[in-house]
Structure 1
Amino acid sequence: MNKNLRVLMLAGVALALLSSVGCNKLRARDQLNKGVQSYKNSKYEEAINHFQQAVELDPSLLNARMYLATAYAQQYIPGADSPDNNRMAEQAIEQYNKVLEANPSRDQRVNAAKGVAYLYLNMRKFDEAKKYYRMASAVDPNDPEPYYSVGVIDWTASYQPRMEARAKLGLKPEENLNPKDKEQKKVCIELKQKNTPAIQEGIESLNKAIQLRPDYDDAMAYMNLMYREKADVECDDLATRAEDLKTADHWVDQTLLTKKAKAEKQPGQQGITADQSK
């Protein structure tokens, strides 16, 4: 009798637990739906509150965690270096990483990795940003955007130190580093050694982005910039410098042609008709 009673009691407890879990999942989805509505109405703080409740009620609800991370990211202001602003980015990164640590879908994994990468990019933590962009590319190698973003990071990483070095030498924007000047040649050699890996990776990444999206005019624009970076550190190899500048000009032309072709495809864009030409 006592044994049967214990079995019934355990069954009752199990049923109550299952019922509680089921209720929590339903309540979590309700909070998720409310959060989505708040998010769509740009009420991000309200949305964050709903998404927080959703993940507390059901930690396995990855859509809620993705939305929570995205809502935090929306509150982050790039370039505003304040404790509160940085905390918002860190909270977004934390939630994105929790998605990555779970068993997310392919799209969730890609979007979470890109979300973290974008935040690190704007926080100027370039190595971390590239790490997560590469993670996204590993999951979806046909997405051109992570390759483009790595190219942008590589350009930034090579451009800034070069411009700082040029400023110290008192060079004008249109002046190249002169290999006949001892100090300029020394700086040029140092920059070439430091920047060449980023320049090469940047060109390769941007090429990959353009291969995947042939009308990627933003990537073409950065190809122009990358080849100008390469040209300026060719030092005493003037022939290669000239070839790099020629290639850079080619990418300027390609960018303009691509933008023009896109504009012509936009709705409302029409060619000249017979009547208009009279």
Structure 2
Amino acid sequence: MTRSARVLVVVAALLAMLAGTGCNKLKARDQLNKGVQSYKNAKYEEAIEHFKNAVELDNSLTNARLYLATAYAQQYVPGMDAPENVRNANMAIEEFTKILDANPSREQQIHSLKGIASLYFNMKKFDQASEYHKKVIALDPNDPETYYSIAVIDWTEAYQEDQKARAAAGVQATAQLKDKKVCQELRTKNAQKVEDGINALTKAIQLRPDYDDAMAYINLLYRQRAEYECDDQAAYDADIKTANEWVDKTIATKKAKAEKAGPTGVITTDQSK
């Protein structure tokens, strides 16, 4: 075979390969579109198969992998330990992780990190959930909802420790802890969580002044602080007073938002100003 003939064979092979690649990309887009349609119709298992096909046809199609991860996450039911249910959560985390490993856009990265954090929270893996929320903050330090999510984890963990302490001491939920040793042990376990949670919610409210959910949780965190300051009545009373003030702020904020929304329930702004 002459040199020119060999060149023609190589060129033909390259063209065939490129044509095949282009064809696969078109097929991948088609599978993605079909998957999106199935997803919108809540046919998640069907959607997953389409998204898997899309990723196999075009591994660079990040949106297909995002949809695949989200569809797996949608299938997960919090609180159920059935193997198939846990598998859906783990598959979602695996797909989100693959996205993060592929140098995605900032938006895709944030979406994936939030997806993983949410799954870990629902799986009650609070340390991992907090870790991934903090990765979101590193990318977007002005996201109030992420600070709120971290604080919810802090309160959840503190509340669990508080309930254990009450059960061990035989103290009812509505009664004040009095045993100084119990108070000190609870302080050791919960003080850092509570302070971190209050700081996170303070930041969230700075970023979103009408964040009533964050206000409600600050109230709860101050009550958790009061729990371990039960050996100091003045500190206990001060925390309860602050908690009650946050309850009042929460109610006032919800009322103001409702009045602004009007009968439609939708808050609007006057564009003429």
TM-score when normalising by structure 2 = 0.94
| CA distance in structure 2 between the aligned counterparts of 1:26 and 1:104, rounded to whole angstroms | 21
After TM superposition, which residue ranges in structure 1, 4 or more long, deviate above 3 angstroms? none
Once the two structures are TM-superposed, the CA of residue 269 in structure 1 deviates from its matched residue by 6.3
What letter corresponds to residue 210 of structure 1 in structure 2?
I
| CA distance in structure 1 between the aligned counterparts of 2:48 and 2:191, rounded to whole angstroms | 43
**Kept after mapping to 2: 8 A contact 1:110/1:136:** yes
| CA distance in structure 2 between the aligned counterparts of 1:133 and 1:119, rounded to whole angstroms | 11
Partner of 2:135 in structure 1? 135
Partner of 2:149 in structure 1? 149
**Kept after mapping to 1: 8 A contact 2:39/2:47:** yes
**Kept after mapping to 1: 8 A contact 2:76/2:86:** yes
**Kept after mapping to 1: 8 A contact 2:183/2:231:** no
Q: Does 1:186 align with 2:181?
A: yes
What letter corresponds to residue 86 of structure 1 in structure 2?
V
**Kept after mapping to 2: 8 A contact 1:263/1:269:** no
**Kept after mapping to 1: 8 A contact 2:151/2:196:** yes
| CA distance in structure 2 between the aligned counterparts of 1:203 and 1:48, rounded to whole angstroms | 40
Unaligned runs of 5+ in 2: 266-273
Partner of 1:158 in structure 2? 158
- Identity rate, percent: 60
**Kept after mapping to 2: 8 A contact 1:155/1:226:** yes
SS at match of 1:268: helix
| CA distance in structure 1 between the aligned counterparts of 2:144 and 2:99, rounded to whole angstroms | 22
Partner of 2:51 in structure 1? 51
CA RMSD, aligned part only? 1.3
Of 205, 215, 222, the residue aligned with 2:217 is 222
What letter corresponds to residue 247 of structure 2 in structure 1?
V
SS at match of 2:263: coil
SS at match of 1:42: coil
Unaligned runs of 5+ in 1: 179-183, 271-278
| CA distance in structure 2 between the aligned counterparts of 1:222 and 1:268, rounded to whole angstroms | 27
| CA distance in structure 1 between the aligned counterparts of 2:95 and 2:262, rounded to whole angstroms | 40
What letter corresponds to residue 138 of structure 2 in structure 1?
A
Partner of 1:204 in structure 2? 199
| CA distance in structure 1 between the aligned counterparts of 2:231 and 2:44, rounded to whole angstroms | 55
| CA distance in structure 2 between the aligned counterparts of 1:221 and 1:63, rounded to whole angstroms | 36
| CA distance in structure 1 between the aligned counterparts of 2:157 and 2:31, rounded to whole angstroms | 42
| CA distance in structure 1 between the aligned counterparts of 2:12 and 2:103, rounded to whole angstroms | 32
Name the count of aligned residue pairs. Answer: 265
Of 218, 241, 246, the residue aligned with 2:241 is 246
Q: Does 1:31 align with 2:26?
A: no
SS at match of 1:104: coil
